[in-house]
Amino acid sequence: MPDEFATGLLASSFNFWRGLPLTNRPDMTVTDAEGNEIHPVESGAPSIMMRAQTRYWQQQTGLWSSVLTRALGAQPGTNPVVEPARGDRRFHGEEWSGNGWFGFLKENYLINAQMLEDMTEASALNEKEKHKLRFYMRQFIDLASPANFAATNPEVIRRALETSGSSLLAGFTHLLEDMKQGTISITDQSAFEVGRSVAVSEGSVVFENDLFQLIQYAPLTPTVAARPLVIVPPCINKFYILDLQPQNSFVRFATEQGHTVFMVSWRNADAQTAQTSWDDYLEHGVMKAIDVARTISRADQVNALGWCVGGTMLSSALAVMRANGDESVSSVTLLTSLLDFSEPGDLGVFIDEAGVAMREQSIGRGGLYPGRELGFTFQTLRANDLIWPYVVNNYLKGKTPAAFDLLYWNADTTNLPGPMYSWYLRNMYLENNLRVPGKLTMCGTAVDLQRIDMPSYLLATQEDHIVPWQSAWRSTQLLGGQVEFVLGASGHIAGVINPASKNKRSYWTSGESVSDADAWLASAEEQPGSWWNHWIVWLKQHAGEQVKARTRLGSTKHRPIEPAPGRYVKVRAD
C-alpha cells in the first residue's frame, strides 16, 4: 500500500508540474514585456532542471510516504530518503534519526537544499555571476538549517529540559557578551596568552621599525646551516600560526633541523601607520627583513619563505630585487600563495569594481580596514564550521567554547592600512596584474615574475577555501627558476600546520611538468605523512655548509631589543 501510494503521488506531482508555467520547461519560449525572447537558463539547463525536479518529487514522495506510513502505525523502511553529506556534523544527534518529526525536518531540509543548488546551477549567468549566486545561495541554505533554531533542534530542546532552562539563559548571556565585542566567540580566549601558551619559541627581537619587528630564534642544534631562513607571514593575521605550541610549531621544527630562523612580525596597523602603501611593505618590510637577517648571519644568501599574502609580497619583493641585480636570496618557498588571481575562489565573490572603488574612496588615501570585518569574511567561507556551530553551542545550548590554539589565533585579527589594502584588491584580485610582465611598477621597478629565477618550492592544499590549489599551481607557469610543486591534504591552515612529529595526512609530489593542474595531479604520486619532511630535505640543498651555532642573538649593529615574541604581536585589533 505505501509503495502504491508513493507511485500515485509521484505521478500526480509530475503531471501537476507539467501544467505549471515554469521558465525552465524545455518546450516553452519565454518573452519579456516587449516580446523579445529571453533565455532564463543555460543551454541544456531545461533537461538538468527536469531531472532535478523529478528527483525532488521522488524524494518528497518517499519522505511523505514514510510519514504517512508512520502515522498509520506501520513501520517505515529503515533507510532515509536522503542523508547528510559526509563530514556534515549538524545532524549527528540520535534524535535527528530516532524521532520521526525531527527526522522529517532534517530530510525535508536536505531535499530542498539540493533543489536550490540545482536551480543555481541551471541559472543563465556567466561563470563569475553564477559563482556569486552559488556562494550566497550556500549562505542561505546554511542559515536555514533546522539545527540553527531552538524550536527545531532536538538537542537544544533536550538540553533546555535537562537544565530547567538555564542553558537558554546562559546562551542569552553569551549572546549579549559577543554583541558587545562585535564577534562570535569561537574559542576560550582566557585559555591562551601570546608569549606564554602560544608563540613560546625562545628568541629575541633584533630589529624593528614602524612596520615590523624581526625575531631571531635561538638555535636548538650545535651547528646550523650557514644560510638562514627568513619567514614572511601574512600581514592579515598574526605570525604565531607558525609557532603555536612546541608540538605543532613550524618554527621549532625548522630550528630543530639545524636552521637559523628569522620571523617577520607585522605591526597591527593603527592611526600612525594608516598611510602605509604596498611598496612600503616591500621596501621597508620584506626587503629590509632579508637584508637584516643576512647581515646578522654573515651569510652570502638567505632562504625565504612566504605564506598566503606573505608569499605574494615576498614574490613581489624578489622580482624587484632580481630586476635590480640583488641575488641575496638562494631559494624561495611559497605556502598556499596566489600569484595568478584569475580564479581566486570564494573570496572573488566579494571583489568587483564598485566595491574596490568604494574602498579606494573611503580608505585608499589613508585609513584602516578593520580586522574583524576581514575575519568575518573568512568565516563566511566556511560558515558550517566557523559560524553556525558556535551560534548553536554558544547561544542555543549555552555552552562555553572549548580551548583550541588554532581558533585562538584565528580570532586574533589584525587591521590593515587602507592604501595598501585598496591597492592589493585592485591590482591583484580585481585586475590580476601581477602575472603580466611589466604591468606593475613596485618600488620604482617594473615587475616580472620570470626574474625570480632561484629554485622555488610551492605548496598548495587540496581543500583550500582561500587559495584554490589549482590557482596556486599556476605559479609554476610564472616563476623563472626550477619549481618543486607539492599538494598537501586538508585546507589552508590545517594543511600547512601538519607537524612532522605526528606525520598525519599525505601529500602529492613528483607530478609531470604540464600546463594543466589536473593533469599534474593525475601524474603525481601520493606520499603518506607530513609535507614538512619533504620540504626540509629540499631546503637543505640550498642552505649552505654547516657552521657553529651562535648562542648570542643579533649582532653589534643589530642588538636584541626584547625577548620573542615581541610586543607588536601582542597588540590586538580595536
In this structure, the answer to whether residues 454 and 309 fall within a common structural domain is yes
User: Which residue range(s) make up the domain with 322?
Assistant: 203-370+415-570
pLDDT (tens digit, 0 to 9) for every residue of the chain, 574 residues total?
Answer: 334 433 343 343 334 333 333 333 333 333 334 444 434 444 455 677 888 888 899 999 988 888 888 777 666 556 788 999 888 999 998 999 888 899 999 999 999 999 999 999 888 888 889 999 999 999 999 999 999 999 999 999 999 999 999 999 999 999 999 999 888 999 998 899 999 999 999 999 999 999 999 999 999 999 999 999 999 999 999 999 999 999 999 999 999 999 999 999 999 999 999 999 999 999 999 999 999 999 999 999 999 999 999 999 999 999 999 999 999 999 999 999 999 999 999 999 999 999 999 999 999 999 999 998 888 899 999 999 999 999 999 999 999 999 999 999 999 999 999 999 999 999 999 999 999 999 999 999 999 999 999 999 999 999 999 999 999 999 999 999 999 999 999 999 999 999 998 888 999 998 787 888 999 999 999 999 999 999 999 999 999 999 999 989 999 999 999 999 999 999 998 7
Summarize pLDDT for 225-234 with one digit per residue, the tens: 999 999 999 9
End residue of a domain, out of 95, 130, 161: 161
Report yes or no on 176 lying in a domain: no
In this structure, the answer to whether residues 362 and 484 fall within a common structural domain is yes
Paired sense of beta strands 261-266 and 212-217, if any: antiparallel
Report yes or no on 384 lying in a domain: no
Active-site entry in 308, 317, 543, 553: 308
Please report the pLDDT score of residue 23 as a whole number. Answer: 37
In this structure, the answer to whether residues 152 and 261 fall within a common structural domain is no
In this structure, the answer to whether residues 125 and 228 fall within a common structural domain is no
Report yes or no on 386 lying in a domain: no
Report yes or no on 306 lying in a domain: yes
Please report the pLDDT score of residue 74 as a whole number. Answer: 62
Q: Quote helix, strand, coil % in the chain, to nearest 5.
A: 45, 15, 40
In this structure, the answer to whether residues 210 and 145 fall within a common structural domain is no
In this structure, the answer to whether residues 252 and 354 fall within a common structural domain is yes
In this structure, the answer to whether residues 453 and 563 fall within a common structural domain is yes
CATH number of 344's domain? 3.40.50.1820
In this structure, the answer to whether residues 147 and 210 fall within a common structural domain is no
**What is the model's pTM?**
0.88
Strand ranges, E, within 376-524: 416-417, 441-442, 445-446, 456-461, 483-488, 506-509
Please report the pLDDT score of residue 12 as a whole number. Answer: 38
Stretch (H or E) spanning 207 = strand 203-208
Question: In which residue are the cell numbers 615574541 written?
Answer: 565
What grid cell was written down for 129?
555571476
End residue of a domain, out of 161, 192, 216: 161
* Number of domains within the chain: 2
Report yes or no on 173 lying in a domain: no
In a 3-state reduction of DSSP, which class is residue 275? coil
Question: In which residue are the cell numbers 580595536 written?
Answer: 574
Summarize pLDDT for 528-555 with one digit per residue, the tens: 999 999 999 999 999 999 999 998 999 9
What grid cell was written down for 517?
593542474
End residue of a domain, out of 142, 161, 180: 161
Rg (CA), the chain: 27
Residue of 183, 217, 214 lying closest to 386 (CA atoms)? 183
Report yes or no on 450 lying in a domain: yes
Q: Is 308 a catalytic residue?
A: yes
**Residue type for position 252:** R
Please report the pLDDT score of residue 80 as a whole number. Answer: 85
Please report the pLDDT score of residue 31 as a whole number. Answer: 38
